Amino acid sequence: MNTKTFNDTFLKACKGENHGHVPVWYMRQAGRSQPEYRKIKETHSLFDITHDPELCAYVTKLPVDQYNNDAAILYKDIMTPLPFIGVEVDIKSGIGPVIDNPINGLSDVEQLGEIDPEHDVQHVLDTIKLLRTQLDVPLISFAGAPFTLASYMIEGGPSRNYHKTKAFMHAEPEAWQRLMDKLAKMTIDYIKAQIQAGAQAIQLFDSWIGAVSVADYKRLIKPVMVRILSEVQTEDVPLILHGVGTPHLLSEWKDMPVDVIGIDWRTTVSEARRLGINKTLQGNMDPSLLLAPWPVIEAEAKAILDEGMESNRFIFNLGQGVFPEVKPETLRRLTAFVHDYSSEKKQQKG
């Protein structure tokens, strides 16, 4: 284990325990905005990096070392387990995940297999084990949630409207339920293996769930989410649920078996609290503002912190991921501001 003192501020915030400053990490903090990463990508694909535990650990740890963040998130993709159940995924630059054999009906769903984590994603587990010997902050790992994974599997790639997916939910109810069951089993097995390898928190990315209505969510998606979260909750690590464009779903999320709810810039911390969410909140700076002058960034961060620090249950993050144009120096400066401002404010409160 690293000889430096272990920084458990993030884990304390997940549990609502007292801590000295507001913890901060950034979604997609490892990767596209870092020149060291872009240099690696000149000769290595995402597949190459994630299948080389030492290189993947380096990429994962790099932003922690550069920005002084309070948590690391494993460098990989939500699509990682899908090829092992029979989904042909190609991550295309500038496009995202593209699937050549999209789901069209029940027969396609029935052909999907099961994942054997110890065999299929051993490279992921080995990277987690390696990072636990290198990091002095908690390691977050993650999985994609069933709706978001299904949207790629049905649409064949990224979508702006999810027309095919939402039509499939209603037109093929048996196939949809079977698909949810299969993806739930895969996700549970995948998450448990990552926790057993040493992951200290798990984030479930339901990135595109904001596209569905409350009624559809309650009937067609929430039951499978509760099943997944309930089964992995027994592993006793913090569980984070995050999506984009989800203000209308927060009232459904507040009673789900998660420790942390991620919100984006469409919902303020105060608004989430008024909905009765007493769990730890994570968010919620608009990543677009990272291109603005520093006084704008500082003012926004201060406003978010002033709301978030009404409770110990707050983690500073972005409402969505870091994008390539963001300068590493901006993230370094933002992290330092969050630490300094929140530490001073906590000291003033006594």
Annotated binding site: 28-32, 47, 77, 152, 207
Which of 337, 305, 343, 332 lies closest to 64, judged by CA? Answer: 332
Annotated binding site for substrate: 28-32, 47, 77, 152, 207
Which of 131, 115, 116, 36 lies closest to 76, judged by CA? Answer: 131
**What would the 3-class secondary structure string for the chain be?**
CCCCCCCCHHHHHHHCCCCCCCCECCCCCCCCCCHHHHHHHCCCCHHHHHCCHHHHHHHHHHHHHHHCCCCEECCCCCCCCHHHHCCCEEEECCCEEEECCCCCCHHHHHCCCCCCHHHHCHHHHHHHHHHHHHCCCCEEEEEECHHHHHHHHHHCCCCCCCHHHHHHHHHCHHHHHHHHHHHHHHHHHHHHHHHHHCCCEEEEECCCHHHCCHHHHHHHHHHHHHHHHHHHHCCCCCEEEECCCCHHHHHHHCCCCCCEEECCCCCCHHHHHHCCCCCEEEEEECHHHHHCCHHHHHHHHHHHHHHHCCCCCEEEEECCCCCCCCCHHHHHHHHHHHHHHHHHHHHHHC
Residue 39, both tokens: 């240099």
Residue 106, both tokens: 């029940």
